[in-house]
Amino acid sequence: MKNFAEPLLGQRANPKPLLFRGARLVDPSAGTETPGDLLVSGGKIAASGSSVTTPADAEIIDCNGAVLAPGLIDMQAHAGEPGLEHLETLASASMAAAAGGVTTIACMPCTNPPIDDPALVDFLLRRARDTAIVNVVPIAAATRGLAGSEMTEIGLLKEAGAVAVSSGREAISNAGLMRRLLTYARDFGVMVINAVEDKELAGGGVMNESEAATRLGLAGIPVAAETVMLDRDLRLAALTGGRYHAGQISAAESAEAVRAARKRGVSVTCGVAIAHLTLNEYDIGAYRTFLKMHPPLRSEDDRQALVAALADGTIDVIVSNHDPQDVDTKRQPFAEASDGAIGLETLLPAALRLYHSGDITLPALLAAMSSRPAKLLGLPGGTLETGNPADLVLFDPDAPWIVEAGSLSSKSKNTPYEDARMQGRILRTIVAGRTVYEYAPA
């Protein structure tokens, strides 16, 4: 059973204080993991440790050793509004997020119309305030209409509340424009996110270029389609000193390129989608279109290199790249099917696979989904320190369950983890001290 809170409709929540008792407190901002209690009061973290005094009116939650951590911040999700409400709404996306322990979603601007104007940023924030049960922050389009030719009003977009600007689903192919964007945005402190794929080189490809594609008779996308664009961007970041972020990388060579650029002293950041850390090209099997995405799922060697790059800090953040698509566009021959997979609700359970496999520690894993995106986007959160907003997730890292697409909260059901076994269940999600999601055993 899933229990969700109602949207606040612009009202301020004034919930009772909450005391989490007997939790395993994981604070990714400090890299610590300690048993203890945590008190939430007035929507903020009021105290934590081994001897927290309980206010008389506090609701006490017995954690039985479950993990209590900062709520996740997802830097890349498509939430459907405006214009694509048949796929997802801010309300449904926020329920999927809440059920997945995600307390802040950064919405991609690839909507209809695209979020390329301060008024649209304002619209999105108001819509979210009235309908969403988690925090929503907009990422604005870096170019008008996401057409890749004219830059948007980056300063005004930031003032309206945009946390970054993005090229959308496709890369900004004009290197001159990319240079000017990075240069101009630098003076506003705005991060420019690019989708790193050279469209011409990707050609008509629909999956990773490899033996698997050859056997399936599908056109491949070479890794070079990604590295060519990434290498260009890394040079432009060095040239301009701008805040550059590669939205998602998918291959070992890309991680290596980022590593090498940092060694040269270039300050850049990059993300990876949860699918690329947990799945590979062979999961496509017999043309499973729910695993068709951009960038494509790569080889197992690439996947393992990405996991290593996450563990060594080369990759900064894990994103859901939540991308709702309806059945009509997915149940098509592979090459004709739409790209994208949902991922908000399964983000944390899927990521826990890396923890269970011993590839990464829990604080480091959670940092990539909370404290680091908070820092990149300039948001509060990602920490258990006293005085911060009480955006929290309580989860049992060991509880087993099986993903049933039909019971996911997203409006679209295109999950690449259909029928997959997961280990780790979200028990409760708190946004500003208010319980927005609670799991109740049936």
Q: Using the rule CB under 8 A, is 251 a contact of other proteins? A: no
- Considering only residues 126, 199, 331, 421, which one is a binding residue for other proteins as defined by CB under 8 A? 331
Per-residue DSSP letters for 2-22? EEEPPP-TTPPP-PPPEEEEE
We find the least distance from the C-beta atom of residue 222 to other proteins, in angstroms, to be: 8
Separation CA 221–CA 296 (nearest Å):
8
- 5 vs 218 by CB, closer to other proteins: 218
Separation CA 399–CA 425 (nearest Å):
6
- 168 vs 205 by CB, closer to other proteins: 205
- Considering only residues 189, 217, 265, 387, which one is a binding residue for other proteins as defined by CB under 8 A? 217
Contact by Cβ (8 Å): 413, 419:
no
- Considering only residues 55, 113, 333, 378, which one is a binding residue for other proteins as defined by CB under 8 A? 333
- 217 vs 387 by CB, closer to other proteins: 217
Q: Sort residue 63 into left (φ over 0), alpha (ψ -120 to 50) or beta.
A: alpha
- 359 vs 418 by CB, closer to other proteins: 418
First CA to last CA distance, the chain: 6
- 289 vs 314 by CB, closer to other proteins: 289
- Considering only residues 130, 150, 159, 211, which one is a binding residue for other proteins as defined by CB under 8 A? 211
- 259 vs 288 by CB, closer to other proteins: 288
Q: Using the rule CB under 8 A, is 332 a contact of other proteins? A: yes
Beta bridge partners of 77: 107, 322
Written as six digits, the tokens of 65 are 């050793």
With contacts defined by CB under 8 A, name the span among 36-44, 73-81, 208-216, 316-324 that binds other proteins: 208-216
Q: Using the rule CB under 8 A, is 59 a contact of other proteins? A: no
Q: Using the rule CB under 8 A, is 199 a contact of other proteins? A: no
- 253 vs 359 by CB, closer to other proteins: 253
Residues contacting residue 206 through CB under 8 Å, at least 6 positions apart: 218, 219, 221, 292, 296, 334, 335
Q: Using the rule CB under 8 A, is 52 a contact of other proteins? A: no
Separation CA 247–CA 436 (nearest Å):
28
Per-residue DSSP letters for 262-327? HHTT--EEEEEEHHHHH--GGGGTTT-GGG--SSPP--HHHHHHHHHHHHTTSS-EEE--B----H
Spatial CA neighbour of 363 closest among 62, 67, 48, 52: 67
x/- binding map, residues 266-285, to other proteins, per CB under 8 A?
Answer: --------------------
Q: Which residues bind other proteins (CB under 8 A)?
A: 209-211, 213-220, 286-287, 328, 331-336
